[in-house]
Chain A
């Protein structure tokens, strides 16, 4: 079954850290760039980060650059997002998403999404 399953969300205090995981199955994970996209409660979608199929290139949106780190383990078909120095405005559902194309530009659409993992940053 082709799917992405996120885990690791929860409630965390401001300034603390959290790591999200995304387990992929049903497709050749190592062939595709992977992304994290978030959605604050009642709001729209915001792209966070992308990692190349081999982990060699990574790009971030400015608001998380230096605080969040995207990584992957192709041997276990798993994507990660390490989130440090969390802020209340980071509260959102975090989705992992698969690149639509195998061609690496770091610019792509998202043709497979996980169910989302809720991260709440609050004291």
Chain B
């Protein structure tokens, strides 16, 4: 099973700042990585797939990079609605796995 490790666990930032979230895989997953946003009481929402492709309707302030075992989600110019928990997920092999999440909170 591929283990995804996200860091930091919590990120405290103010609106307008840049958020940088990390996801590391226990083995190479090529670029088969997605990022999701989840807000309290809601289902996750797909943000990015194949490491850097924005899903439909996702604003350009969300960007992704990386390949192999190290990936980054960057949210430039944080908006109030961007606060929540972010998960990465790999589709390189079964079982499909998620990282433990990074909580982006208002400072």
| Residues of chain A at the chain B interface (Cβ within 8 Å) | 35, 44-47, 50, 59, 61-62, 95, 100, 105-111, 113-116
Contact = CB atoms under 8 A, between A and B. Distances in A.
Interface in B79-98: 87, 89, 91-98
Contacts of B32: 107
Contacts of A106: 94
Of residues B32, B43, B91, which shows the largest number of chain A Cβ atoms within 10 Å of its Cβ?
A: B43
Contact of B98 (A45, A105, A113): A45
A100 B101 CA distance: 21
Contacts of B92: 107
Q: Is the interface of A mostly helix, strand, loop or mixed?
A: loop
Given A107-B92, A108-B91, A44 B101 contact: yes
A100 B50 CA distance: 11
Given A45-B44, A108-B96, A109-B91, 18 more contacts: A44-B87, A44-B101, A45-B98, A46-B98, A62-B95, A95-B43, A95-B44, A100-B34, A100-B46, A100-B49, A100-B55, A105-B91, A109-B46, A110-B89, A111-B46, A111-B55, A115-B43, A116-B43
Interface string B24-37: 00000000101010
Contacts of B95: 47, 61-62
Interface of B: 32, 34, 36, 43-46, 49, 55-56, 87, 89, 91-101
B96 A113 contact: no
A35 B36 CA distance: 16
Contacts of A111: 46, 49, 55-56
